[in-house]
Structure 1
Amino acid sequence: MRLVSVAACRPGMKLGKSIYNEDGRTLLSENAELTEKILERLNTYGIKYIYIQDSRTDDIVIEDILSDETRAMAMGLIRSTFRQLMGVSGKRKLAGALHLEKTFSQLLNAVIDDLSNHKEAMIMLMNMNASDYYLYQHSLNVCVYSTLLGMANGYGRDEIQALSLGALLHDIGKTQINQKVLNKPGKLTDAEYKEVQRHAELGYYMLKDEPNIPLISAHCAYQHHERLDGSGYPRGIQGGEIHEYAKLIGLVDVFDAMTSHRVYRPAMLPHQAIESIYTGSGTLYSKELIELFRDKIAFYPLGLSVRLSTGEQGVVVDINSSFPQRPVVRILQDAEGTDLTVPHEIDLSKKLSVMITDVDVLSSN
């Protein structure tokens, strides 16, 4: 299968990997044939990249690190809980009545158990979702990414539990923000921006007195927009004043936001997002955490079409875990754009003079 932008898709192509709705259930099944109407709907939903079937890459299999059952449980619980919190007065009281720790403890155990079976997995795009449901999917993505990084950093089970819970609920304060402001397609006014910034403090106060929720999980909500140089919010704290979990979640939060389609801008691919994040190394984000993240990110996801500096075009078929920014590419077209009768593969970790110069370029056979 290949990862292709919806803009490059044509009617008659077949879906290579299912797309899920806000409840984590199937929106469009694997093997579904794409039509003009379906492609229009995908654009309407804000879905920008999908996997399609291609006989030249039918050996590429992308395994989900979360089971279908865990994904469905996660999206259902996040959606139902967050919706109960939206637009209701007496928020802190309501949050307590929902027993958030009890609500999410079974889910977090399922997520941690699923990820424990894929500790060495590279972080792949998880954003085959509709932009209307960004808050729910984003909360799950940040939880999954943060949990994987916590495991890679050697955290114990109790530490992982607190980190995962803080990551899952880091944006819970957004349930108390005017949703029209939160999803505004245009530039926010100064007053609107200040309103959105309130979500960090609101989230902290919603969580800090919750039964059985570690205080550090509440601080993840409070501090995930703080930055090393003090330029973040809500308190402008610096460096060592920011808990390591919050630093990690803040980094992951930015990455997932960049690689998700939003109402005000299209999604970036991972290599573009990580390059942008690197500009804040040592000033906004911890250099050590960026390097940890870099080593776990699939810069160029499996199935992505790429052009090389040689002019040849192909598809990413394997990721070098020790050198993720230089994957193995199956060459399908020569420099003149002619399909090869016998494709061959180039391991960019061994061909250091060859670079990826463009993505999403290959036409379908």
Structure 2
Amino acid sequence: MASISILELKPGIKLLKDVHTPLGGLLLQKGTVLLPRDLDILRAFMVQYVEVDTGEADAKNGSKPAAARKSQLNDSTSNEQITTSKISNLQEEYDKLILLVKSAYQSVIAADLPIYELRNQLESVIAHIKDYNPLTFTPKSMNEYDYIFHNAVLCALSSYLLSKWSGLQQKDWMQAAFAGLFHDIGNVKVDPAILFKPQPLAIAEVEEMRRHTTYGYQILKNTTAINEGVRLAALQHHEKVDGTGYPLRLEGSKIHVYAKIVGITDIFHAMTLNRIYRKAQSPYLVLEQIHSEAFGKLDPTLVQVFIQKSTEFHNGTVVRLSNDQAGEIVFTDRSNPTRPMVSVNGEIVNLVQQRHLYIDEVISLN
């Protein structure tokens, strides 16, 4: 073991101690085999010395690192194939649920919800929840008129995760997913001419649109296998913790936790999906807007959990920036999770400092 100046470091050398930022954040973990981008990170943070394994003599002549890099490349290819297969399985079950939700929504006025069929298929999707991330999952095909169904399923998955991430009991996770799945079911009673109107709504049309919350509660009132919290989420998901929401202008303590969860996931997916009147926005920008909404409007603790957990990507995640350049995430500061450092063509782009740039799309995970 030896302390070596970063001026002498070469790719392939293994770290024997964690490397931290000047403020104490973990920069590189013990055991990391340094890659060229890691050297860029160390220089960007002006790290002077690191503890490395001097026993790796081959690291200096390049033979062992080359073999290690070949192995790493093979592993990376294999992992990418596995990931693609997992996403395909998730997408397949997702598409089945979309069709079932579409059928259920279209017939709910004349017939009861097929709750057990919906639950079984929802469970089939949730079986692949480890492969789902709100920021990276994109429906394979979607037209704007099917927005309501995709929003329902995506909110179900994200609400399931947020209820789990926030420490609710396991019995709440599936009910929170139901809350996401049915939160906008009242829209089936709203005039389609209003629901799909591409222009701004008139005052009377806004009032009719807002009635979807009470319509939803009425539709779910006699549905079995869901609890009252699911019905209240349909009624309350547009309430705000400061009492400025609708339909009842409830304040924070009177809003059901499922409604608070769905209130966050609904805003996120509504803004990151294509709509009749608006194109999808960058999920990272939407998270920043949700963060600003947290002050007085949304539950701040739930917002923080949602942002922190959904942005927990490993270094090496490939992203596209708003200037259309692609790069790899190399470091994420927990205090600015939507604005990591990105390596672009060998240069470190610090999105905290360069506020005019933002992540437009996650291209691939590490």
Shorter-chain TM range is 0.5 to 0.7
Q: Output the amino acid matched with 2:207.
A: K
Computing the radius of gyration from Cα coordinates, the structure with the larger value is 2
Cα distance in 2 for partners of 1:152, 1:347 equals 30
| Deviation, structure 1 residue 280 | 2.1
| Deviation, structure 1 residue 262 | 1.5
Cα distance in 2 for partners of 1:66, 1:240 equals 40
2:138 to 121, 126, 147: 126
1:357 equivalent in alignment to 2:354? no
**Residues 331 and 342, structure 2, Cα contact 8 Å, conserved in 1:** no
1:83 to 81, 106, 109: 106
1:304 to 319, 323, 327: 319
The residue aligned with 2:326 is 314
In the TM superposition, 1:1-365 aligns within 5 A as 64=87, 67-85=90-108, 91=109, 94=110, 97-115=111-129, 117-118=130-131, 123-126=135-138, 129-298=142-311, 303-306=318-321, 313-316=325-328, 320=332, 324-327=337-340, 329-332=342-345, 344=346, 346=348, 357-358=357-358
**Residues 271 and 300, structure 1, Cα contact 8 Å, conserved in 2:** no
Comparing both structures, which one devotes a greater share of its residues to helix?
Answer: 2
| Deviation, structure 1 residue 303 | 4.3
Q: CA RMSD in A?
A: 3.3
Cα distance in 2 for partners of 1:164, 1:241 equals 21
SS of the aligned residue for 2:224 comes to: coil
Percent identity over the alignment? 26
Q: Output the amino acid matched with 1:247.
A: K
Cα distance in 1 for partners of 2:330, 2:128 equals 22
| Deviation, structure 1 residue 177 | 0.7
Cα distance in 2 for partners of 1:66, 1:176 equals 33
What TM-score, normalized by structure 2, do the two folds share?
A: 0.67
Per-residue Cα deviation, 1:222-256 (whole angstroms, up to 9, x for no partner): 11011111111111111100011101101111111
SS of the aligned residue for 1:227 comes to: coil
SS of the aligned residue for 1:268 comes to: coil
Q: Output the amino acid matched with 1:207.
A: L
**Residues 287 and 338, structure 2, Cα contact 8 Å, conserved in 1:** no
Distance of aligned partners of 1:355 and 1:278 in 2 relative to their CA distance in 1, 3 Å threshold: closer
| Deviation, structure 1 residue 298 | 3.7
Unaligned runs of 5+ in 2: 1-75, 362-366
Cα distance in 1 for partners of 2:147, 2:330 equals 29
Task: Decide which moves more: 256-265 or 285-294.
Answer: 256-265
Cα distance in 2 for partners of 1:260, 1:287 equals 23
| Deviation, structure 1 residue 124 | 2.2
Distance of aligned partners of 1:185 and 1:72 in 2 relative to their CA distance in 1, 3 Å threshold: same
Unaligned runs of 5+ in 1: 1-56, 86-90, 333-343
Per-residue Cα deviation, 1:181-227 (whole angstroms, up to 9, x for no partner): 10100010111111111111010011121122211111110110111
The residue aligned with 2:53 is none
| Paired residues, number | 278
SS of the aligned residue for 2:106 comes to: helix
Cα distance in 1 for partners of 2:134, 2:348 equals 20
Distance of aligned partners of 1:292 and 1:68 in 2 relative to their CA distance in 1, 3 Å threshold: same
**Residues 186 and 214, structure 2, Cα contact 8 Å, conserved in 1:** yes
Distance of aligned partners of 1:318 and 1:142 in 2 relative to their CA distance in 1, 3 Å threshold: farther
Cα distance in 2 for partners of 1:360, 1:317 equals 13
Cα distance in 2 for partners of 1:137, 1:321 equals 32
Q: RCO higher in 1 or 2 (8 Å CA, sep ≥ 6)?
A: 1
What TM-score, normalized by structure 1, do the two folds share?
A: 0.67
**Residues 200 and 223, structure 1, Cα contact 8 Å, conserved in 2:** yes
SS of the aligned residue for 2:327 comes to: strand
Cα distance in 2 for partners of 1:318, 1:124 equals 18
SS of the aligned residue for 2:321 comes to: strand
Per-residue Cα deviation, 1:103-146 (whole angstroms, up to 9, x for no partner): 3110222233221x358x56425356321210111111111111
Q: Output the amino acid matched with 2:124.
A: A
Cα distance in 2 for partners of 1:320, 1:110 equals 33
| Deviation, structure 1 residue 259 | 1.3
SS of the aligned residue for 2:96 comes to: helix
Q: Output the amino acid matched with 2:116.
A: K
